[in-house]
Structure 1
Amino acid sequence: MTSVCQKNFQRLPKNVAPKHYKLKLKPDLEKFTFEGWEDITLEVVCPTHKIKMNSVDIEVQEASYTGTLNIKFTGELNDKMKGFYRSKYTLNDQEKYLAVTQFEATDARRAFPCWDEPACKATFDVTLVVPKDRIALSNMPIISDKEVEGEENLKEVSYSTTPIMSTYLLAFVVGEFDFVEGADSNGVAVKVYTPVGKSAQGEFALDVAVKTLPFYNNYFGIAYPLPKVDLIAIPDFSAGAMENWGLITYRETALLVDAENSSARIKQWVALVVGHELAHQWFGNLVTMNRGKNCENTDTHAYIRTAEFVYRALEKPVEVGHPSEVDEIFDAISYSKGSSVIRMLHDYLGDKDFRQGMNIYLTRHQYKNTCTEHLWAALEEASGKPVGDMMATWTKQKGFPVLKVEQEQNGKDRHLTVTQSKFMAGGGDPPSGYRWMVPVSVLTQAQPDNPMLLGLMDNCSKDFVLHFVAKGQWVKLNAGTVGFYRVMYPSEMLQALMPAVKDLSLPPKDRLGLQSDLFALSRAGLTPAVDVLRTVGAYKNETDFTVWSNLSSNLSSISAILQYSDCYPAFKKYVINLFSKIAAEVGWDPTPEEDTLKPLLREVVLARMGRYGDEATVAEANKRFDAHCSGEAKLPADLKSAVYATVLTNGDSVTFEKMLKLYDEADMQEERVRIGRALGSVQDKDLIQKVLFFAMSDKVRAQDAVFVISGCTGSAAGRELAWKFFKENFLTLSDRYEGGFLLSRLVQATTENFASEEMANEVEQYFKEHPLAAAERTIQQSIENIRLNAKWLEREEEAVKKFLG
């Protein structure tokens, strides 16, 4: 029989439960098929005449039950980057293929019939029958490697039994790799697998991994439970990385670092992703959150995101019904809201109690499935604070609050009245009935480095008293920008903060949060855009990378809307003026004493100046680009993104052809990705069209094509052409990315920055006629964003034009 995906999704019945899988797979790397055999030990919970499992695109030849469930089957090594799939690579000028798995969220069922739900945990014995000249890896160490009788070119590799785990964490890879290896301070074997001939590019990730594992061991108070961990770079990979237990898979650009040719941004990214995936070995792997409607919580699979914090206005809870919806929830909402709320909770509890609570949670629930209420209970037990009640207000209702502040001076004391309401990104009156338990903290001018927790605000309005705060001194709420809320100040409080922004006495995280709040409030219609632009002028002395990066991103959002206004050229001049001082300070060339964030700052600043047409920046970029192309002077990796974007934005077909030549000559995937993302910066419509066709060519991997197309959407003309291209290639794109989150990202990129009601209606109508079940949330968010853009433009255009004039 041929298995098919259920159209009307239902969870599997609970009449039987898998306890152990004995799984053998034999992939054919020439025919792109595989054979499989499995024996599954079951627990029969209640009498039944039927066993129901998950299976997609699998041909079952035999199935029987003789104490264990025995199934023989075949399947396809597909090219969809999901399930058990093939990935193309080149070695010695020969095109070859490897086999690899990507089972999260619901694609183990494409490799073998199974109970493919996170709560259905079991142990696994894996055996792979593969060519002798290939490396074969799985979650656990190899226990036997022997020849296959009668097939001299094959070997049979078996691995030790896994811990109890979910199907989505199982993994196997068959291919040609080099590796570097080491061990952490606790004796855990660590290997980083790279393309053949590029083992040196794994050294950086290896160093990060061997240092990070002991950190988590110590922090959580629980040892890493497997004897080894492998980190492996895969040529075709839809996500950034995947935390398969003991065999973590990565995009090449998320794992490989060339000592001479990788940028500081890539090094930072690799360190972040390696740390992130290793954290999952405890959170997600050792203890797994149930997904979907079985738990009361709606923000699933996003609770511990080490080293991540994105301060953004994020809306909408996440609830999973059908497997096709799962990929779409792995977005900025689930990741950033989850990590941001946890960061706020950590600050409220303090590190000691937070760590103790984590240890209680992980120890109590290891190898089991949990709901978030279990996590809150452990943290409440450790801290004695009302974690459950507090977190319920953040995870069981949509959105987050805006705190509106009023102040009154009373002698030496400052009285604050804080009211909360739901932050409405689209403006309008907030609905009643929303209330959060908010940890309210402040900084004061007298003690700018000493944040104070005023208390837990659990009502719609609350009064606080700050002692010994003189009249005229500034007070800032949400110290360190740790709280997941916006703050709206009266004019006098905001103006009092401006000198502290100018002279940098307000800490960097608070300078970041202040302007981030202002842009969000302006977008919601709560603060005039002109007031925000005028306030942003106070940031001209700014030196911090994170502040400039966030500020640049916020200005870019306004830029996308003002492209539909005749004041766009004036806006670019305004931004150039704002960035001119820091551009002069960072310069073009690094100095020996600069810190690790300076190259990242340089990239942000020069890219913004160049894209907006600053004459001196464009001239210098062209000079360095020409020298790079001629071989006279190689561009440092940290300058490439800024230079490429600048010369393409301001260049012609000659520049474009030079860039394509660099792409063809690039040996590193990092460089190809960098060029691919920059190509869409061109302004000529014919060149934009060439970029779009290039994105779908054999020269661009499917995983990267989305970002090449998205790169065209930075201009109004490019956005229009990319949307047209998307519609013309809808069937090809929807088939290529079949239900994956890459398709959602492409939908978002090609639609969300339009700024008229007409375009909102067009996008809405198009997807009514061409439904994408796996991107429904993204489509609705994009349509909403288009309408917000249109409202902002109608409301603010004339005042902004007058200000810029």
Structure 2
Amino acid sequence: MWRICALLLFGCIISTNARQRRSIDLIAAHGLITQEKLPYDTMPGGYHVFLQPFPSDGYFEGKIKINVTVQHKTHEIVLHAHPDLILLHCNITQLTPPDDELRKENSTDDGEPDTTPKPIGIESSEKVRNKPLFNIVLQTNVKPGALLEIFIHFTGRLFNETSEGLFRSSYVDPITKETKWFVSTHMRPNLARSVFPCFDEPVYKVPITVSIARHQNMTAVSNMPLESTKPHEVMEDWVWDTFQKSPPMPTFSFGLVVSEFSYLSYNVTDDEDVSLRIWARPDYISAVQNVSEKVEKSLNVLEEFWGVPYPLQKLDIFALPNYQATRPADSWGLLLFKESELSGRGSWHLTHELVYQWLGALASPFWWSDAHINNALVRYVTAYATQKMNETEPFNNWPMTMLYSIYYEFSKRYPYGKGTAIKQDSTSAKTELIFRMLNYTLGERTFMHGMQRFMNDRQYKTFFGDDIWLSLTEQARFDEKLPQPITVNEIAASWITKDRLPVVTVTRDYEKSSANLSQRVYLRERPHDVPDQEKFLWWIPIVLVRQDHLQFKNTTPHTWMRREKDITIENLPGKDMFIIVNPEEIGPFPVNYDARNWNMLAHFLCSENRTKIPVATRAKLLHDAWNLAYAGDLSFATALNMTWFLKYEREYLAWDPVFTLIDHIGRHIDSSSVHKKFQTYVRTLLTPLYEELGNEPQEGESEGRAHLRSSSKIFLCQAGYKPCIEEAQAAYNKWMESSVPDEGNPVANQYICPVFKWGTRKEWEFGLQRVINFPPTRKPSERTYLLKTLAGCPNDSKKIERLLDIAILEQNGNFTDNDCYLIFSMLTGGANGYTSLFNFLRKNWDTIKVRFEEKPHLWNTLVTSATTVFKTQEGLDMVSELYVERQSEFGTADFVIEKALKNIKEETKWSNENLPVIEKWLDHNIKTNDADRT
């Protein structure tokens, strides 16, 4: 057992008064964190944490001294402590008396307060059952103003299975072959309580002093610079490192690393007053030599943005081997990354964690609900800084990819489904886009100065989401960008508090040179019967570009739709000139136009002048047109006309939405006769692009060009492009010729699906046998991928019937219930799959019903996959007939079939309205010789 160091009194006692007002809650409750708060009877003033990890043995010992000030008369003190933390001993000392005793010192009474530290009796101290709390009950009440010191001795486990809390991991020294252990921390969002007892809520922001015991062959690093090193009192070859006291910080910003890593040292920032060290295992240190340049560039941009220098004297950045967390750990002054994240070419990850040094550590969210707005603003500032550094990763497509995802999610009849994580991520992404919208509409200078106003006000303190909006409002009014009584809070709330997005419809009156603009809920998924949708209204900035003045840099709104359903704008260009509303996706909303304006846009994009419209706006126009057509708000003929400019387009950003939309539309119509013509259209559109790009990468080509080649090849293969199929079969044949085919798969994944879809029965049967004979020594994920493609790719229904016979009817022991579930799910991806499954169910109903009678989950999944995906009248008739035939036999799946019939009726209506339009356009625009060539 080791002994505690000498008493260190904390000189800075901070009393935090809880504010009662709330910010806009982005999420009603954080998915992982309870909204229950610690009582405000006592407030921490500072911590001194003593930790001694034993990495090879997998545990640590610790002691902590917490200075607290009593706020209200109490006989209880409640702290956070994880259930796995073993608390060995606790005592409490009163360092100064309560306020009423101190006041006597200045009275005429001869009595003076006793300021001698004295112990306070503890009646009981125990963990609270089923809660991460430690409750200390005192023998007597303590009055307000008393300063106490809580001392706790504890021990805990060093986790190795996960990179959370205080964890350990290892690597093998390539020279000595020794196993080298290291210890590190990942405290977000509320894992400090698993390392030491504390007030583990972001509102409690106080100084922390850290002392770490380590073997002399190792190095300890924490948030602050090293202050002193002393020999260990008991253990030979061990020392105590004590670090400087930190500024006030939340417990989630606490961090340490104890390791035998090597480091590279630099001075960064203009004044060269920040010490930077980049750490890695010795044999990997050369891979991170370029990190310092990225850090310096990021810090320069961020210091200018916040108007506040990097707030600490040092910054340590680690590349950790075997780091398992999904995101880096952003302790204050100490950043932890996976090795691949730190050594990679781009700097997004690095900049993202550096932003947290200001927003999160220097200014911290008051509560977890505010952490989401914190996260959204961090993501926006990261993107802003990355663009300022002229970074193009990932191939400069921010924010389009994110926009397309949230358009899709928020346009569903029931967003998120049951996915809390999806809701959190979608809401945070939407809020990030609101910050981007405000940057454009208020102006970059006003937005940045508003953020500086916020940071100057809240540094070393906590904040509510309202504080951000208030700072932006005050700056916008100062710069005369926002008239009274409008507030940024009001604008932002109209977006953040709704799980929806608007669509703006522009209907021009060409004779009067005016246009009517209307807003409503954007619904892509049918039927459009969302309750109370008429009540949804937004503050929408109307930024407008006209053909006679193609100026895309002026992003000041022409006007605002102030939660109005309709407005009219005047003085538009003549009837032979188009307009564009919401260029560059300034606001997160699609825009629809009348047919004439759409057609003028399509014509202009096919001309040599198309590059006068920036690529992000070209992508937006294409994306809006296709999605509005899919939603039933625009003719598919108009939407398809918008694609012809792609014959001349070579920017990945403009093509990016096309691949998703081809997939969506293709899946929707693949049960109809139009689908074959649609595949011809896809080949006609993509073949010239792919042939120009070439099959092999070129030296020094951009990521965008590489992704464009990859995506075009994938979709050409899906559409039956012969050179692609032949290439896939040639690669696959090498596997078939192997003498030991079950030992490994030498074929790249990109070739598997084209072979199973367009190849021979023999090739598919070979894949089936590899699944059946899959050896247990190989990775299960390889078998899963093979099974997914076996089920989901074939065009030949006989292949699917063969798989279903083996897995379901023959009950082959190599196929588990999970395999059956996977097969059913994959068959919903195409008409051939779910039609074959439906016919299989209908033909073998009695046998299957007996097979699954005690497995309702599988039965329900089978019925769902076999009946709910049809989209035509023929499919509706098939499912209706089955329902009549077996009406009393569906059992637990009865609700499934009833819902399926309702959905198919809606999809059939869509097909009846749109398939003739799509077919007519395809017949008119695709020539026979184009089809023959591809």
Q: TM bucket by the smaller chain?
A: 0.7 to 0.9
**Residue number in structure 1 paired with 2:649:** 542
Secondary structure (helix, strand or coil) at the match of 1:51 reads strand
Corresponding residue to 1:13 among 19, 32, 39: 39
Contact (CA 8 Å) 1:142, 1:157: kept in 2 or not?
yes
Q: 1:625 to 1:48 in 2, by over 3 A?
A: farther
Secondary structure (helix, strand or coil) at the match of 2:336 reads strand
| Cα distance in 2 for residues equivalent to 1:152 and 1:560 | 70
Residue 55 (str. 1) matches residue 81 (str. 2): yes
Contact (CA 8 Å) 2:33, 2:368: kept in 1 or not?
no
| Cα distance in 2 for residues equivalent to 1:171 and 1:791 | 57
Deviates more, 1:243-252 or 1:351-360: 243-252
| Cα distance in 2 for residues equivalent to 1:6 and 1:335 | 16
Secondary structure (helix, strand or coil) at the match of 1:683 reads helix
Residue 683 (str. 1) matches residue 789 (str. 2): yes
What pairs up with 1:482-501 in 2 under 5 angstroms? Answer: 482-501=586-605
| Cα distance in 1 for residues equivalent to 2:901 and 2:290 | 45
Q: 1:147 to 1:11 in 2, by over 3 A?
A: same
Contact (CA 8 Å) 1:42, 1:68: kept in 2 or not?
yes
**Residue number in structure 1 paired with 2:750:** 645
**Residue number in structure 2 paired with 1:69:** 150
| Cα distance in 1 for residues equivalent to 2:57 and 2:206 | 31
| Cα distance in 2 for residues equivalent to 1:755 and 1:41 | 64
Contact (CA 8 Å) 2:410, 2:501: kept in 1 or not?
no
Q: Deviations over 1:661-695 (max 9, x none)?
A: xxxxxxxxxxx9xx98996696236999xxxxxxx
Q: CA deviation at 1:201?
A: 2.2
Q: 1:240 to 1:368 in 2, by over 3 A?
A: same
Q: CA deviation at 1:502?
A: 2.9
Q: CA deviation at 1:222?
A: 0.8
Q: 1:73 to 1:593 in 2, by over 3 A?
A: closer
**Residue number in structure 1 paired with 2:495:** 394
Residue 158 (str. 1) matches residue 158 (str. 2): no
Corresponding residue to 1:347 among 418, 424, 440: 440
**Residue number in structure 2 paired with 1:442:** 544
Residue 256 (str. 1) matches residue 332 (str. 2): no
Secondary structure (helix, strand or coil) at the match of 1:472 reads coil
Secondary structure (helix, strand or coil) at the match of 1:156 reads strand
Secondary structure (helix, strand or coil) at the match of 2:200 reads coil
Secondary structure (helix, strand or coil) at the match of 2:533 reads coil
Structure 1 gap ranges (5+):
258-266, 318-324, 628-641, 659-671, 689-709, 720-749, 760-784
Q: TM-score, normalised by structure 2?
A: 0.64
**Residue number in structure 1 paired with 2:203:** 119
| Cα distance in 2 for residues equivalent to 1:447 and 1:678 | 55
| Cα distance in 2 for residues equivalent to 1:21 and 1:241 | 25
**Residue number in structure 2 paired with 1:633:** none
**Residue number in structure 1 paired with 2:193:** 109
Contact (CA 8 Å) 1:59, 1:74: kept in 2 or not?
yes
Amino acid at match of 1:69: I
Contact (CA 8 Å) 2:187, 2:329: kept in 1 or not?
no
What pairs up with 1:306-317 in 2 under 5 angstroms? Answer: 306-307=382-383, 309=399, 310-312=402-404, 313=406
**Residue number in structure 1 paired with 2:252:** 168
Secondary structure (helix, strand or coil) at the match of 2:659 reads helix
Q: What is the aligned length? A: 682
Q: CA deviation at 1:8?
A: 7.5
Identity level (%): 22
Contact (CA 8 Å) 2:219, 2:260: kept in 1 or not?
yes
Residue 358 (str. 1) matches residue 451 (str. 2): yes
Q: CA deviation at 1:146?
A: 4.3
**Residue number in structure 2 paired with 1:239:** 326
Q: CA deviation at 1:485?
A: 1.5
**Residue number in structure 1 paired with 2:516:** 417
Contact (CA 8 Å) 1:130, 1:154: kept in 2 or not?
yes
Q: Deviations over 1:527-582 (max 9, x none)?
A: 46676455434433322122222332344455566678897776555434332222
**Residue number in structure 1 paired with 2:508:** 407
Amino acid at match of 1:431: Q
What pairs up with 1:510-529 in 2 under 5 angstroms? Answer: 510-522=617-629, 524-527=631-634
CA-based RMSD: 4.6
**Residue number in structure 1 paired with 2:67:** 41
| Cα distance in 2 for residues equivalent to 1:15 and 1:337 | 38
| Cα distance in 1 for residues equivalent to 2:221 and 2:349 | 21
Secondary structure (helix, strand or coil) at the match of 1:448 reads coil
Secondary structure (helix, strand or coil) at the match of 2:343 reads coil
Residue 615 (str. 1) matches residue 729 (str. 2): no
| Cα distance in 2 for residues equivalent to 1:754 and 1:549 | 29
Secondary structure (helix, strand or coil) at the match of 1:164 reads coil
Q: CA deviation at 1:788?
A: 12
**Residue number in structure 1 paired with 2:49:** 23
**Residue number in structure 1 paired with 2:367:** 291
**Residue number in structure 2 paired with 1:464:** 569
Deviates more, 1:142-151 or 1:340-349: 142-151
Contact (CA 8 Å) 1:143, 1:159: kept in 2 or not?
yes
**Residue number in structure 1 paired with 2:578:** 474
Corresponding residue to 1:85 among 163, 167, 188: 167
Q: Deviations over 1:273-295 (max 9, x none)?
A: 212221222222221233356x7
**Residue number in structure 1 paired with 2:854:** none
Q: CA deviation at 1:148?
A: 2.6
| Cα distance in 2 for residues equivalent to 1:565 and 1:582 | 27
Q: 1:687 to 1:558 in 2, by over 3 A?
A: closer
Contact (CA 8 Å) 1:444, 1:475: kept in 2 or not?
yes
Q: Deviations over 1:309-362 (max 9, x none)?
A: 321335679xxxxxxx99937953133212111000000111111111111110
Residue 219 (str. 1) matches residue 305 (str. 2): yes
Q: CA deviation at 1:366?
A: 0.5
| Cα distance in 2 for residues equivalent to 1:212 and 1:681 | 45
Q: CA deviation at 1:121?
A: 1.0
Q: 1:435 to 1:800 in 2, by over 3 A?
A: closer
Amino acid at match of 2:505: K
| Cα distance in 2 for residues equivalent to 1:280 and 1:626 | 51
Contact (CA 8 Å) 1:621, 1:643: kept in 2 or not?
no
Secondary structure (helix, strand or coil) at the match of 1:410 reads coil
**Residue number in structure 1 paired with 2:813:** none
Q: 1:367 to 1:555 in 2, by over 3 A?
A: farther
Q: Deviations over 1:12-65 (max 9, x none)?
A: 111112121111222222332222211111122112111112222211111221
**Residue number in structure 1 paired with 2:687:** 580
| Cα distance in 2 for residues equivalent to 1:133 and 1:249 | 21
Q: CA deviation at 1:381?
A: 1.8
| Cα distance in 1 for residues equivalent to 2:155 and 2:419 | 26
Contact (CA 8 Å) 1:418, 1:461: kept in 2 or not?
yes
**Residue number in structure 1 paired with 2:799:** none
Contact (CA 8 Å) 1:522, 1:528: kept in 2 or not?
yes
Q: 1:69 to 1:439 in 2, by over 3 A?
A: same
Contact (CA 8 Å) 1:289, 1:301: kept in 2 or not?
no
Residue 368 (str. 1) matches residue 461 (str. 2): yes
Q: TM-score, normalised by structure 1?
A: 0.74
| Cα distance in 2 for residues equivalent to 1:559 and 1:195 | 49
Q: CA deviation at 1:800?
A: 6.7
Q: CA deviation at 1:169?
A: 1.6
Q: 1:410 to 1:206 in 2, by over 3 A?
A: same
| Cα distance in 1 for residues equivalent to 2:626 and 2:179 | 49
Q: CA deviation at 1:68?
A: 0.9
Amino acid at match of 1:64: N
Contact (CA 8 Å) 2:319, 2:336: kept in 1 or not?
yes
Q: Deviations over 1:213-247 (max 9, x none)?
A: 01111222110001122222332333232322211
